[in-house]
Chains A and B, each alone.
Chain A
């Protein structure tokens, strides 16, 4: 009679109407079921408890047959983790038996505990994981349908041949994982010994070799002869010279790490020995700059300094922020942090000045020249990914400990935002204003000072603000290398577990930071 009749007779209750036909075409096998399910997903009527039980029971092979990569990996991961716990059950129960034989009672108890908890973990992960898998199955499969709708060359339907691929993947991953879970990994020392005995021509069991290569630490592949020991003593005239001593005979070779570390040490030693005047010069400069600034901050009687700080804050940022500043200063004074805080401030100011003096021209260069950008940007990227206390290393290596290397590490750490934001500001100066200035006869210097810098000023000031904040945080860390200040109280408290003192100093540091931040930021927004 009508076109729909054969379908209705065909048995499948939800046989493809026009609406659901693409669903059924996509799903191939069980087309009726998926037509129903997908339709209710489209109508947002799928019950939140809907679970594809076939998928839940079949697990990742179901996903493989349906060619859904995401479901395959989810299902495979669930089963793999469960299997790894099962292998641990086996490993620990064997270890428990061994402990019984060895008569180590406490080990017996521990291993039996671990056996039980591994067993529980395996069961829970497997059951809950499969339920989750069944819950996800149709929902994620529906996305595959959406992809297929746009592009019919994408996989669809039901195909047993896909199981071959799944089997290959499982075969590549599962055995090693499971083997690793069933074994206690060999210790590094055992493996080093083993490597020596192999070198000496002894027979070593294949299983032990395999364990050392595959399931322990990544095997040490590179062995290097030791380098000469290098020192830089002075000769009779007081001039330094290089003295090399070959390593003692019979010492074993070293790995790549130790070899390279010594290489770096030798390089640094050479530079400090022969170019010491350079580093001493920088140290002297930093020290005199710092003492000039310290003279202002620390040398001024507290009552005058406090008044001055509040007056500055009032003119720059207004009354409300000044109240906050006053309260913070009172906190610092009451808890006896005044001198130390001013010490810290001196360091921050010294470092910030250097950052601005060097960062501004650098930023202009980066902003105006593509070469500058190509050279500096990657360096800045690296500098910003390095954790702050790593900067302490080169500072100490070349400048020993104390305040000057502390300032130096701070400068390196706090410089990037100055360069970046200056460059950003310069780059974002509208082309048309530059063109206008050129059209009226500006030379390059006038273009910079009358057009570019003024328009980049908000960005530059944001850079200064960031520099100050970062300098403060780094100055605190620099206490680790003897820069003193508030950070010193914190590090000392850490070392002696004097938590209370540490917390009080920490609050002081936070107040300092907030004070500076509020005032500088407010000053920026007031101006623009």
Chain B
């Protein structure tokens, strides 16, 4: 987690945010005495929003931040474009300290480099879809002709062609969120901040938008911070996931890391309800051939189904049904392990 701190496109170093009049005092006290969120509220009347968070997001990565509501996800991500000033710590974007920008530089950075999508869309109700999408360009005084050109292109990108002249109130929730996405992408920013963009949508639409976004982001190579309170979504979208609790990051890792090695009971609780079929791979659940044969006797290698180390549980199940042999795992033709039906069942339960 710390090894590439200096290289990430977006880096936060020991960022703290405490809301309240006695924030600085409270921060000292928390550092010294390791107070809990409830203690701080009682003693200082202050709310710990973000507690000593250091993350680094690499170029082109979709970095998910996951946590229950109130765990500080929105607060953390609003530090990145400095909608919120940190109580302590610093934020670097491409190595530049965001806290040291003056008002003009900050506005330029927000307009050019960072796009943001909000859970509640936050579209301007009095403007057409096109004018909403072109907002960042308009704020930078781009001329009307160019604005319309760019906006129409982005509107097409999110499959809303033909709706440019409608008002947001005439669109469904899913379509409004697409407008939000288009607005964030209109200025072609390097970084996208997405604060629970799909949480307010119904599951079907959410699926569709998730897939569309994955497609888009693959082709456009944007660095994305994606907030969600839904681990399923985090796993679908994220190349890495950070799990937050009470303002702190309790674990960072790839979806598989998180699912196979939850750092504590809090994470384990989240993971418990998750389908492991696409998250566990043969190399995690297999055992050496010798160990298996020692317990069960020799394996009929000619009849047993064969899979590769990178095949997921889903595939292993498909192979092992309707026959009695365990699945052989071969890498470049060499047997590297074997997966019994018991191992598959344990895997489904999440006990690799």
Q: Does B107 contact A (CB under 8 A)?
A: yes
Confirm or deny: A442 has a beta carbon within 8 angstroms of a beta carbon on chain B. Answer: yes
Judging by beta carbons under 8 Å apart, are A441 and B111 in contact? yes
Q: Mark B112-135, 1 if CB is under 8 A from A, else 0.
A: 101110101011111100000001
Are A440 and B124 in touch, CB under 8 angstroms?
no
Question: Do A454 and B126 touch (CB < 8 A)?
Answer: yes
The residues in B between 304 and 339 inclusive whose CB is less than 8 angstroms from any CB of A are none
List A contacts of B127 (CB < 8 A). 454
Bound Cα distance A442, B141 (Å): 11
Is the pair A440, B108 in contact by a Cβ cutoff of 8 Å? no
- For chain A, give the interface size range: 10 to 19
Contacting pair A454 B124 (CB below 8 A): yes
Residue from A430, A446, A454, A455 in contact with B139 in the complex, judged by beta carbons closer than 8 Å: A446
A497 at the interface (CB under 8 A from B): no
Taken together as a complex, chains A and B put the C-alpha atoms of A451 and B135 apart, in Å, by 10
Which segment of A32-40, A115-123, A395-403, A431-439 sits at the interface?
A431-439
Taken together as a complex, chains A and B put the C-alpha atoms of A140 and B120 apart, in Å, by 52
Contacts of B187 in A (CB 8 A): 440
Partner of B107, one of A430, A432, A442: A442
* Residue from A443, A451, A457 within 8 A of B124 (CB atoms): A451
| Neighbouring A residues of B147 by C-beta, 8 Å | none
Q: Does B140 contact A (CB under 8 A)?
A: yes
| Contact status A440-B116, CB under 8 Å | yes
Beyond A432-B120, A435-B83, A446-B139, is A440–B126 a contact (Cβ under 8 Å)? Answer: no
Distance, CA A436 to CA B81, complexed state (A): 11
Q: How far is the CA of A281 from the CA of B3 in the complex (A)?
A: 73
* A393-450 CB contacts (< 8 Å) to partner B: 430, 432-433, 435-443, 446, 450
Query: A residues within 8 A CB of B120?
Result: 432
Bound Cα distance A314, B193 (Å): 49
Main secondary structure of the interface of B (DSSP, over half): mixed
Q: How far is the CA of A457 from the CA of B124 in the complex (A)?
A: 13
Contact of A439 among B108, B114, B126, B140 (CB under 8 A): B114
B224 interface residue (CB < 8 Å to A): no
Q: Are B116 and A441 in contact (CB under 8 A)?
A: no
A442 to chain B, nearest CB (A): 5
Chain B residues with Cβ below 8 Å from A457 are 126
- The 8 Å CB contact of A440, one of B103, B111, B125, is B111
Chain B interface residue count: which class?
A: 20 to 34
Among B108, B124, B183, which residue has its beta carbon within 8 angstroms of that of A441? B108
Partner of B81, one of A430, A439, A454: A439
B138 on interface, CB distance cutoff 8 Å: yes
For residue B225, give the distance in angstroms from its CB to the closest CB of chain A: 13
**Contacts A435-B83, A436-B116: A441 and B122 contacting too (C-beta < 8 A)?**
no
Measured CA separation A438–B193 after assembly (Å):
14
CB of B19, distance to nearest CB on chain A (Å): 15
Known interface pairs A432-B118, A450-B138; A439-B83 also in contact (CB < 8 Å): yes
Closest chain A residue, CB of each to CB of B136: A440
Q: What are the residues of chain B within 8 A of A450 when measuring CB–CB?
A: 124, 135, 138-139
Evaluate contact between B138 and A439: CB separation under 8 angstroms. no
Residue B229 is within 8 A (CB to CB) of chain A in the complex:
no
Select from chain A the residue with minimum beta-carbon distance to B104: A443
- Which of the residues A435, A443, A454 comes within 8 Å of B122, measured between beta carbons? A435
Q: For B114, what are the chain A residues with a Cβ–Cβ distance below 8 Å?
A: 439
Query: Whole-angstrom distance between the alpha carbons of A227 and B108 in the complex?
Result: 66
Residues of B within 8 A of A455 (CB): 124-126
CA A442 to CA B136, docked complex, whole Å: 8
* Contact mask for chain A residues 454-484; partner B; CB cutoff 8 A; 1 contact, 0 none: 1101000000000000000000000000000
| B residues 118-168 in Cβ contact with A at 8 Å | 118, 120, 122-127, 135-136, 138-140
B118 with A441: CB separation less than 8 A: no
Residue of A435, A439, A446 most packed against chain B (CB within 10 A): A439
A357 to B112, CA, bound (A): 36
Inter-chain contact B107/A441, CB cutoff 8 Å:
yes
Is B125 a contact partner of A441 (Cβ separation < 8 A)?
Answer: no
Are B123 and A441 in touch, CB under 8 angstroms? no
* Residues in B neighbouring A439, C-beta threshold 8 A: 81, 83, 110, 114, 116, 193
B261-295 CB mask vs A (1 if < 8 Å, else 0) is 00000000000000000000000000000000000
Partner of B136, one of A433, A435, A441, A454: A441
Chain A contacts for B81, CB-based, 8 A: 439
Given contacts A432-B120, A442-B107, A443-B107, A437 and B125 within 8 Å (CB-CB): no
Complex alpha-carbon distance, A451 and B139, angstroms: 11
Task: Add 18 more A-B contacts to A441-B136, A450-B138 (CB < 8 A).
Answer: A430-B122, A433-B122, A433-B124, A435-B122, A436-B116, A436-B124, A436-B135, A439-B193, A440-B135, A441-B109, A441-B112, A441-B139, A442-B107, A443-B103, A451-B124, A454-B127, A455-B124, A455-B125
Could you give 21 example pairs across A and B, Cβ below 8 Å?
Answer: A432-B120, A433-B124, A435-B83, A436-B118, A436-B122, A436-B123, A436-B124, A439-B110, A439-B116, A440-B110, A440-B111, A440-B116, A440-B135, A440-B139, A440-B187, A441-B108, A441-B139, A450-B139, A451-B124, A454-B126, A455-B126
By Cβ-Cβ distance, the 10 closest A-B pairs, closest first, are A441-B111, A441-B110, A436-B122, A432-B122, A440-B136, A441-B107, A439-B116, A454-B126, A441-B139, A442-B139
